[in-house]
Amino acid sequence: MKLEGPSSLLTGVKYKKHKKNPKNGQVKGSPVDRQHVPGQSKGTGPDHGIPSHIVNGIILKTALTNPSEVVHLRQRLDNAVSSSRDRMFPIESTLGMIQTLIDCDEFQDIATLRVGLVVSPRLTSGSQSCCRFPEQNLDELLDHKSDLSEKLCQIGDSIVYKLVQWTKRLPFYLELPVEVHTRLLTHKWHELLVLTTSAYQAIHGGHKMGSIGSDGPEADFAQEVANNLSTLQTCLTSMMGRPITMDQLRQDVGLMVEKITHVTLMFRRIKLRMEEYVCLKVITMLNQARGGSMELETIQDRYMSCLRSFVEHNSSQNPTRFHELLVRLPEVQSAAALLLESKMFYVPFLLNSAIQR
């Protein structure tokens, strides 16, 4: 499966299919202790293991070749605002719910190329073995002398593994069947990736976009797009071991970079907080097209109310902030759709590379 752009920017780089035993068992492990919060039922069923094919990267590989439908959130924003207003949580409960989400989130590991060593148990021919993703760092990825294709495979598998582990740590994990979590990740991984990397850039990437310059927001945006394209050009040239022209880069990924840059810019201008990010991440994963299940809608509304309660308590001087946060999600979806189409899932990490150096 190719990870190259529409104009074959990375010709010959493929996301290789790993040969896996079709009889692989499930990933075992006990879920973390979960704190009961208002509006949340306690999980009473057994801990269902995530099927090993998820850990092995099937979600990512399926999504790369079968683009999911982009859900248009704007149709639901007004309803979300009005429904969450009716069910406000006490601030103590709100802070407890949000802290649980923060504890679940491996923000830096997923938002950057700090992949690290991951060991995932699985069953092969009746005996336990391990699937290891060797430690990666930016310098290794940018070294064109090493096997780029294999490194991209490892990064892709590690992303999927980390998203699965994040899902299993969520406080509502036992409220939904494993198949539902699988479907959500299959259709939402690219949105979660764009949201996470953009939020990380906005929160930890300095303040170069924090205020509007003398030439106005459009000039700031154009300059930031140019900076990101330059960063991407440098990284891809190093990865490929050959020059990548700016014209070629703009043709292949220019629009995608603009969309991702816009999301980051908006998050930074509103001074996105970690507490708001973790709520938006859950809301994004649980968002569904019309006709979705009531269970998902109930859990999503719970975290809509949680986010609103936090915002009204901490940003009482800005009564529109809750809506300002939600209207960013369609922009995340738009950028994620282009990322999915390009199959260059590593681009957001490269755009964050300047933070790591």
Query: pLDDT at position 26, please?
Result: 37
In tens digits, what is the pLDDT along the chain, a chain of 357 residues? 333 333 344 433 334 444 444 443 333 333 333 333 344 444 433 344 444 444 334 444 444 444 443 334 444 444 444 444 456 788 999 999 999 999 999 888 888 766 443 444 332 333 333 344 444 556 666 666 667 788 788 778 888 888 999 999 999 999 999 999 999 999 999 999 999 999 999 999 865 544 445 556 787 899 999 999 999 999 888 888 889 899 999 999 999 999 999 999 999 999 999 999 999 999 999 998 655 688 999 999 999 999 999 999 999 999 999 999 999 999 999 999 999 999 888 899 888 876 655
345 occurs within a structural domain:
yes
Contact 115, 154 (CB under 8 A): yes
b/e for 51-72, b at 16 or more Cβ within 10 A? bbbbbbbbbbbebbeeebebbe
Contact 138, 231 (CB under 8 A): no
Domain count, the chain: 1
Give the chain's radius of gyration (CA, Å). Answer: 20
CATH number (domain holding residue 179): 1.10.565.10
Residue with tokens 């009564």: 319
70 occurs within a structural domain:
yes
Contact 353, 138 (CB under 8 A): yes
In terms of DSSP bridges, do strands 118-124 and 127-133 run parallel, antiparallel, or are they unpaired? antiparallel
Spatial separation of the C-alpha atoms in residues 35 and 74, rounded to whole Å = 32
42 occurs within a structural domain:
no
Q: What residues contact residue 230 under an 8 Å CB cut-off, 6+ apart?
A: 246
Backbone phi, psi, residue 50, to 5°: -75, 130
43 occurs within a structural domain:
no
DSSP 251-266: HHHHHHHHHHHHHHHH
Query: pLDDT at position 291, please?
Result: 58
Neighbours of 112 (CB within 10 A): 21
45 occurs within a structural domain:
no
Domain span at residue 125? 50-356
17 occurs within a structural domain:
no
